[in-house]
Copies of this chain bind each other. A is one copy, B any other.
Amino acid sequence: MKMFNKAVIIGTGLIGGSIGLALRKQHLAGQVIGLSRQAKNARLAKKVGAIDQVGSSLEAVADADLVILATPVNTIIDLGLGIVKKIKKGCIVIDVGSTKERIVSKLSVLIPNFLGCHPLAGSEKKGIANLEDNIFKGSICIITPTIKTSRRTLNKVKLLWKKLGAKIVILSAKKHDQALAFTSHLPHAVAFSLMNSIPNSCLGLSSSGLSDTTRISGSDAGLWSEIFLSNRINLLADLSIFQAKLSALKFALESKNKRRLRKILLLARKKREKLG
């Protein structure tokens, strides 16, 4: 039996499209409808097999039993507001936004079977053109239920992500945003700033070190300025922590304190080993 009769994906970019592809390949949904603000994106999603059909309007959610909000983080709340009166009773609605607190606090009140999700997958390359076979396999998906989340919704969404190959971590939306500020938003802010520090004339004199350290600075500027703003307070706090760590290294170098410098580097190395 299919998990869902009809799934509607709103936002057929890299993440939305990848979910569609996995739903179709694993026959988890009877029908997968894709909606995109830009019609050509949804048409492309159909062409690559990520959806069965291009939806013409938000009315497509009417008889869906799963709706996936996969648009940029700043548009998800409005989209949720837009579908709340259109969906049928029992329809599960999830989002896949990179920050959760604001979205979950709004939408979990309005939509009975809403559940915030954040698959830690994807890449600096956005768009369905960068679709890979299964970007969720072996990845982590953070699910952020509230006290209002029903057991049925939670179990069904957990099963969905498990079938997509993700390992599930349950966190409150608040804890999610605190953690992701450290592990995703801070590294992005650092990578963008590092890239902006390198003179053009030096770009040719580099190797994999610079390339890897700045890979995520190739991320979409519009998407990421919205992600930063949606987790502003946490990110500002973490930027201050990073600035202090950087100042400590700089001070050790300034004062030629070899022992201190080595200790700072060794601490980082040992922590990097834990990251695997």
Residue numbers of A with Cβ under 8 A of B are 120-121, 123, 139-140, 142, 169, 171, 179-180, 182-184, 186-222, 224-226, 228-229, 232, 235-236, 238-239, 241-243, 245-246, 248-250, 253-254, 256, 258, 261-269, 271-275
Contacts and interface: CB of A to CB of B under 8 A. Distances in A.
A226 B242 CA distance: 23
30 contacts: A120-B206, A120-B207, A139-B207, A169-B205, A179-B201, A182-B198, A182-B202, A184-B210, A186-B194, A188-B209, A189-B250, A192-B249, A192-B268, A195-B269, A196-B245, A196-B267, A197-B245, A206-B275, A209-B215, A214-B275, A217-B265, A217-B268, A217-B272, A221-B263, A225-B262, A229-B261, A232-B256, A239-B246, A243-B246, A243-B250
Contacts of A201: 179
Contacts of A207: 120-121, 139-140, 183-184
**Secondary structure call for the A interface:** helix
Q: How many copies does the complex hold?
A: 2
Contacts of A197: 182, 186, 238, 241-242, 245
Contacts of A213: 187, 190-191, 212-213, 215-216
Given A198-B271, A219-B269, A239-B253, 14 more contacts: A120-B205, A140-B207, A169-B205, A186-B197, A192-B265, A195-B275, A196-B271, A212-B213, A214-B272, A217-B268, A218-B269, A225-B265, A228-B261, A232-B253
